[in-house]
Amino acid sequence: MEVAYIILSVLLAGSFLILYDLPVVGGSILASGAGERMGVRILLPALLLAGILVPCFVPEVGYPVTKGLSIPADGVDALSVGIATAATAVMVGTFSRYPAVPYAFIASLAGIGVAQGIPLQPAAFRYVLSWITGPVVCALLAAGIYSICSSFLRRGKTHMAIQEGKVLFASSLVSLILLFAVAFNNSMVFSFLPSGKGWLTIAVAAGCPLAAWFAVRSKVLANKYSVADNDLDINSLSILSLMLAMTLAFGLFSSGLPAKVGLVATPLPAGTLYLAALLGISMVRERALVDGGELLKGGVAALVSPVLGFLVAYCMGLILDGRVVSTLVFLGILLFLGVISYYRHLQDSLALQRQALLSGEQRAYSTQKSLSALEVRAEMTEQDLRNKLDAKRKELVDFAVGVSDQKEFMEKIYDDLAEVRAMEDGEGKDDAMDSLLGALRERMYFTREMNDFYARSEVLNEDFNMRLKSMFPNLTEGERKLANLLRQGFSSKYIASLMNITPKSVEINRSRLRAKLGLQRSDNLIKFIKSI
Amino acid sequence: MGFLDIFSLKRATNLIKSMDALLLTVAESLTVFKGGVKDYLYGEEAGFAENLSKMASLEAEALSRIKEIEGTLYSKGYLMRSRGDIMRLLERFDHIVTIISVDLVQFEIESPNIPKELKREFVKLTELASLAVESSIPGAKAYFTEPQAVAETTSQVYFYEKEAVKLSQSIKRTVFHQMEGLKLSEKFHLRYFALHIEDLAKAAVKVAEQLSVMAIKRSL
């Protein structure tokens, strides 16, 4: 059972470490270009595992965090530390992308110890100093490395590919060491593992990160690509300086060197070091490589994480110890913090929902706008078509009038022909005949135009003709033509000209049509035809 | 072998060689283009056919170089932050080779009837357009070694392009205003070829613009 609690605790703390620290390291490696090299991709997981397992195989190396702190021997206490770390990471994660998970973890260790009545040793306060010194050292290192490397690389007219090749070479090497250093430095989460259990310890040390990795894999990958593509859109030398500074900081604070200046070896959060390194490089380059707001949030996260971790763990320690009043006070504080966190989370969710709603409304509005535009266009098209139809009708009427005029003209020619026949002068007769031939040619055109007129009329009144045919199948072709012309409002005189009959014949045809349509004397023929 | 490549600069050296070879191919294409146009104008059919086949092989070579460079840049992590710009630049050079090849093929297919009095003008236009492209090559090389020197070379490109455009306009003016004996279709044909040669100079300007932006980005 004890081992199960420890495993659970390691899993909890390990998951949040992987979730917040690995994307920063992985994103930096990816942005440097080293992540695209086959050799690096093969070696990285091996070195990560090596960093975790080295303390298991080489006990004299020891864990970097056990000095000055009481390591809980009890499984439940260990689980409390894991829960406190996870809770802190969740709370700090609501306002910053870089919660200082290792700080929270160590503060939780201290918190649980204090709750159990073990006073904090003076060495424990050195952690606070080290947590401040770590990022400062990292920023200074990054600034120094960038200055030295840029002055070294910019010497001479070396080809960019060679310069970048050298940087890539260094980045590949540094990325391997960086991952090992991060894993080794943060391996404090295994400081609970019962020592001396040999292969069981190794199996838990290797298995827990693997299980934690699978639990948060998709989010880690998404964050990693976000860091590489959005945050680290800077030159390769800056990325190399950043990685090297982080590597040195991790290495430095995993060694005995800090102890020589009154500090302690401590696990450091990759996110905080990353922001510090970017700040250092920004100062050298005199150009902001990181957003000020992000930097501020990261700083606050680094300060708040240990405080919260301590409080949560202390509270849990009191609960476990059975002290009611203190427990209630701390539970109240915790509840308050939890409510604040939840409120923030709720606010964020609501803001997101509002944003989604707004974008949905905007989409709906733009769709509505497109629909209205389509309707207007359709209306305009319909109107346009109606106008065209009217124009065609008018054209047809004009055409019919023209035809009628031509007919009158033909009658005149006919009379002239009679006169010509009566003429006796041969020459005058020939001239008159020529003009008559011309007139006859016009007559020919007239017939063709009449057919054309009827064809156009059929097309324009296609619906009417079809309805007429289906309602009164006994009508002749001539009667349908008459109905058509009446519908278009032609007078009997024009109809007579158009149909090449006398106006009297038109009247007779109208009477026949009325009879066939079944109309009474009182019924208006034209109104009836128009109503069809 | 690939595993140990992470600590080797051999690929970087090969990349430089490939990029230099591509720029050399562009320079060779310009020589072939100038020769090809001259051969066409002065009726050297055998020479023109030789230039045409040489151009086809140069075009294929440029394409294979581009693919090779793209492979190294995008799969081996080289020039991570500027590879997009570099590829765009090299593709613009490849486009120039394509323009040259297409122009020569069009001369072969359409056999434009170029009047005697315009032959010298066309040769001059070809040379000016080629000079614009030639001036952009040292600029491209300077970007990799000495980015601050890019500006000097780009101004030359702009100058030659301007001259090429002026000459092209003068040819078009002559064709449409002074050559009454030509059919309208022939005039259009001549204008079309002048435009195509002018396009080469315009492509060089695009290279120069790209180089200027890249040099500024590198200095940041």
Nearest residue of B to residue A229, measured between CA atoms: B81
- Which residue of B77, B218, B220 is in closest CB contact with A168? B77
* Encoded tokens for A16: 């949040």
Largest CA distance in chain B: 72
Residue A300 banded pLDDT, cuts 50, 70, 90: very high
Q: Within 13 Å, how many C-alpha atoms sit on residue A479's CB side?
A: 19
Tell me the residues of A at the B interface, defined by beta carbons under 8 Å apart. Answer: 31-40, 42, 157-162, 164-166, 168-169, 172-173, 233-236, 287
Q: How many domains does chain B have?
A: 1
Burial bucket for residue A312 (CB in 10 Å: 0-12, 13-18, 19+): buried
CA separation for the pair A430, A434 (Å, rounded) = 6
Tell me the residues of B at the A interface, defined by beta carbons under 8 Å apart. Answer: 2-9, 11-13, 15-16, 19, 75-82, 143-146, 218, 220
In a domain, B18, yes or no: yes
* Encoded tokens for A119: 């006073």
Q: What pTM was computed for the model?
A: 0.66
Contact B78 A164 (CB under 8 A): yes
C-alpha dihedral sign at B130, B136, B141, B146: positive
**Contact between B29 and B97 (Cβ < 8 Å):** yes
* Of A34-48, A328-342, A358-372, minimum mean pLDDT range: A328-342
In a domain, B208, yes or no: yes
CA separation for the pair A297, A98 (Å, rounded) = 8
Interval A115-138: pLDDT, tens = 878 877 777 788 889 999 999 999
Contact A236 B75 (CB under 8 A): no
Quick one: pLDDT at residue A262? 83
Quick one: pLDDT at residue B164? 92
CB pairs under 8 A between A and B: 81
CA separation for the pair B45, B51 (Å, rounded) = 10
Quick one: pLDDT at residue A397? 75
Q: Which domain holds residue B71?
A: 8-219
Q: Residue type for B218, please?
A: R
Burial bucket for residue B86 (CB in 10 Å: 0-12, 13-18, 19+): buried
* Encoded tokens for A23: 């994307």
Residues of B in contact with A172 (CB under 8 A): 6-7
CA separation for the pair A144, A136 (Å, rounded) = 12
Contact A165 B9 (CB under 8 A): yes
Interval B33-85: pLDDT, tens = 999 999 998 888 888 899 989 999 999 999 999 999 998 888 777 888 888 89
The shortest C-alpha distance from B143 to chain A (Å) reads 8
Q: Any idea what the Cα angle at residue A176 is, between residues A174 and A178, rounded to 5°? A: 65
CA separation for the pair A124, A28 (Å, rounded) = 32
Interval A387-433: pLDDT, tens = 888 777 777 777 777 677 777 777 877 788 788 878 877 778 888 88
Q: From residue A249, how far is each of A224, A227, A242, A255 by CA, in Å? A: 21, 20, 11, 10
Residue A64 banded pLDDT, cuts 50, 70, 90: very low
Residues of B in contact with A37 (CB under 8 A): 5-6, 76-77
Quick one: pLDDT at residue A119? 78
User: Is the pLDDT higher at B219 or at A58?
Assistant: B219
Is the confidence at residue A60, as pLDDT, over 70? no
Contact A42 B3 (CB under 8 A): yes
Is the confidence at residue A144, as pLDDT, over 80? yes
CA separation for the pair A454, A498 (Å, rounded) = 10
- What DSSP character marks residue A359? H
Q: DSSP for A1-56, please give it.
A: -HHHHHHHHHHHHHHHHHHHHHHHHHHHHHHHTGGGSHHHHHHHHHHHHHHHHHHH
What is the interface pTM, i.e. ipTM, of the complex? 0.77
In a domain, B56, yes or no: yes
Burial bucket for residue A141 (CB in 10 Å: 0-12, 13-18, 19+): buried
Task: Choose among A225, A235, A228: nearest CA to A287.
Answer: A235
Q: From residue A138, how far is each of A105, A248, A301 by CA, in Å? A: 21, 8, 17
Q: How many CB atoms lie within 10 A of CB A52?
A: 23
* Encoded tokens for A66: 């056990």
The backbone torsions φ and ψ at residue B207, rounded to the nearest 5 degrees and listed phi first, read -60, -45
Q: DSSP for A269-292, please give it.
A: -HHHHHHHHHHHHHHHHTS--S-H
Contact A159 B9 (CB under 8 A): no
Going by C-beta distance under 8 Å and a sequence separation of 6 or more, which residues neighbour residue A358?
none
The shortest C-alpha distance from A34 to chain B (Å) reads 6
**Contact between A18 and A85 (Cβ < 8 Å):** no
Task: State mean pLDDT over A311-327.
Answer: 77
CA separation for the pair A428, A420 (Å, rounded) = 9
In a domain, B27, yes or no: yes
Residue A312 banded pLDDT, cuts 50, 70, 90: confident
Is the confidence at residue A67, as pLDDT, over 70? no
Residues of B in contact with A30 (CB under 8 A): none
Contact A161 B144 (CB under 8 A): yes
Task: State mean pLDDT over A490-507.
Answer: 79
* Encoded tokens for A295: 């930097």
Quick one: pLDDT at residue A73? 63
* Encoded tokens for A194: 């019962």
The shortest C-alpha distance from A143 to chain B (Å) reads 17
In a domain, B182, yes or no: yes
Q: Which of B1, B6, B73 to probe the A interface (max A CBs under 10 A)?
A: B6
**Contact between A244 and A169 (Cβ < 8 Å):** no
Interval A429-463: pLDDT, tens = 888 888 777 766 666 555 556 666 666 666 666 67
In a domain, B3, yes or no: no
Residue A71 banded pLDDT, cuts 50, 70, 90: low
Residue A195 banded pLDDT, cuts 50, 70, 90: low
Contact A37 B6 (CB under 8 A): yes
Q: Which residues of chain B have pLDDT under 70?
A: 1-8
In a domain, B206, yes or no: yes
> Which CATH number covers residue B202?
1.20.58.220
In a domain, B1, yes or no: no
Domain ranges of chain A: 2-322, 390-531
